[in-house]
């Protein structure tokens, strides 16, 4: 049966046999870096194409269909165009911060990749505070956005960055509280433990209604944190041209664009891990036969299927809902999501203490 764990173990043993401990570490780091960059490039191309196709179908259009079959090479062509374009730096911009900002956003996205389990035994770093690490590092991306907005010497950029700051700081709260619901049920912050706890069913089904509410709140907060419609106040094409990346062009713009899609992938991967069991196949309680059949589908397929399901959900939101006004956005968080998720956390705690979950 296809298994990524087998491949990694094979490589590990081969390297151990041929190199010293330091050599193994260096070579493995290089391999991980290459894999991360490859994953990012592929995800960027695939997700942008997917977004355009989904958007088109939902708006009764056909989307890109000229470059390659069903337009699959459209994004490659766009990337080529962006590479060839000149990366302008506007007069009066803070050159250092302006050029640094896209890389900060990108590096934050790369850091978030570390604790994600892509398949059984295929994880860069199963850190024991995995969930805390994710929620801490994901809030750093706002620094890159603020940097871009401040350095651009453009009012639209500044406004977009400020809105983005207010938005991400607010929505971090309810995202954190809904993640906490799963942490309470599992009793561990480690991603590996959280996945293993879903051996006999995913938390979404095991945890009754409170976990479903937590899941909905998490998806709303994730949409807001990735600055996507209906919460795309930071970009808001019709109000701020392009918000914080108004002044960016060429490859620097492409990095922002790529980081946006990588962030979507990562928050969806986190959501899939916490609520839908990550790479864990679909198991029902103690139905040994059924569970065994489900185990035949490779764990990496399960992980990517769940993640792309959530990505599709977020795209569905984007192409259905109108953009919120900035005060409505903050109302939604502080008047609705935060009180509900606090109350919900209480319910989950009661369930966890009394052992009512399956």
Partner 1 sequence: MFIKEYLSDIYHATKSLLTGMRRTGYYFVNPKEIITEQYPDNRDTLKMADRFRGEVIMPHDENNQHACTGCTACELACPNATIKIITKFDVTPEGKKKKALDTFVYHLELCTMCNLCVEACPTDAIKMGQNFEHSVYDRSMLLKKLNKPGSKIREGVE
Contact footprint for partner 1 (CB under 8 A): 54, 57-62, 316-317, 319-321, 336, 340
Distance of alpha carbon 214 from alpha carbon 194, whole angstroms: 16
* Shortest Å distance, C-beta 58 to partner 1: 4
Distance of alpha carbon 35 from alpha carbon 30, whole angstroms: 9
Q: Which is nearer to partner 1, 122 or 319 (CB)?
A: 319
Task: Output phi, psi for 3, to 5 deg.
Answer: -150, 130
Q: Which is nearer to partner 1, 287 or 336 (CB)?
A: 336
Q: Which is nearer to partner 1, 14 or 321 (CB)?
A: 321
Q: Which is nearer to partner 1, 124 or 313 (CB)?
A: 313
| 249 CB-near residues (< 8 Å, 6+ apart) | 85, 86, 87, 88
* Shortest Å distance, C-beta 65 to partner 1: 8
Q: What angle do CA 318, 104, 169 make, to 5 degrees?
A: 55
* Shortest Å distance, C-beta 315 to partner 1: 10
* Shortest Å distance, C-beta 316 to partner 1: 6
Q: Which is nearer to partner 1, 12 or 328 (CB)?
A: 328
* Shortest Å distance, C-beta 63 to partner 1: 9
* Shortest Å distance, C-beta 340 to partner 1: 8
CB 190 within 8 A of CB 134: no
* Shortest Å distance, C-beta 85 to partner 1: 28
Q: Which is nearer to partner 1, 58 or 107 (CB)?
A: 58
Q: Which is nearer to partner 1, 48 or 104 (CB)?
A: 48
């Amino acid at each position: 049966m296809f298994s990524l764990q087998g491949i990694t173990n094979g490589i590990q043993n081969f390297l151990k046999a041929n190199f010293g401990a330091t050599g193994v570490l260096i070579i493995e780091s290089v391999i991980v870096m290459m894999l991360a960059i490859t994953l990012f490039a592929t995800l960027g191309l695939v997700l942008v194409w997917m977004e355009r196709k989904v958007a088109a179908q939902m708006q009764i259009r056909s989307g890109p269909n000229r470059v390659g079959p069903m337009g699959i090479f459209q994004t490659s062509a766009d990337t080529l165009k962006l590479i060839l374009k000149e990366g302008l730096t506007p007069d009066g911009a803070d050159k250092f911060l302006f050029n640094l900002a896209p890389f900060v956003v990108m590096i934050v996205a790369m850091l978030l990749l570390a604790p994600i389990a892509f398949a059984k035994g295929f994880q860069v770093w199963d850190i024991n505070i995995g969930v805390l690490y994710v929620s801490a590092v994901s809030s750093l991306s706002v620094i890159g956005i603020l940097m871009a907005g401040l350095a651009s010497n453009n009012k639209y950029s500044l406004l977009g960055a400020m809105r983005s700051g207010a938005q991400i700081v607010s929505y971090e709260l309810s995202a954190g509280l809904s993640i906490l619901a799963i942490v309470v049920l599992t009793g561990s912050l480690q991603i590996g433990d959280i996945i293993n706890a879903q051996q006999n069913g995913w938390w979404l089904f095991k945890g009754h209604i409170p976990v479903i509410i937590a899941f909905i709140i998490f998806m709303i907060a994730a949409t807001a944190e990735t600055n996507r419609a209906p919460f795309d106040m930071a970009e808001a094409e019709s109000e701020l041209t392009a918000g914080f990346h108004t002044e960016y062009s060429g490859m620097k713009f492409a990095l922002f664009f790529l980081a946006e899609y990588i962030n979507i992938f990562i928050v969806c991967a986190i959501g899939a891990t916490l609520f839908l069991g990550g790479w864990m196949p679909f198991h029902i309680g103690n139905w040994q036969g059924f569970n065994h059949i489900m185990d035949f589908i490779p764990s990496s397929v399960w992980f990517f299927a769940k993640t792309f399901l959530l990505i599709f959900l977020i795209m569905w939101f984007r192409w259905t809902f109108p953009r919120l006004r900035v005060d409505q956005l903050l109302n939604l968080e502080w008047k609705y999501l935060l009180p509900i998720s606090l109350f919900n956390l209480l319910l989950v705690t009661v369930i966890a203490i009394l052992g009512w979950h399956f």
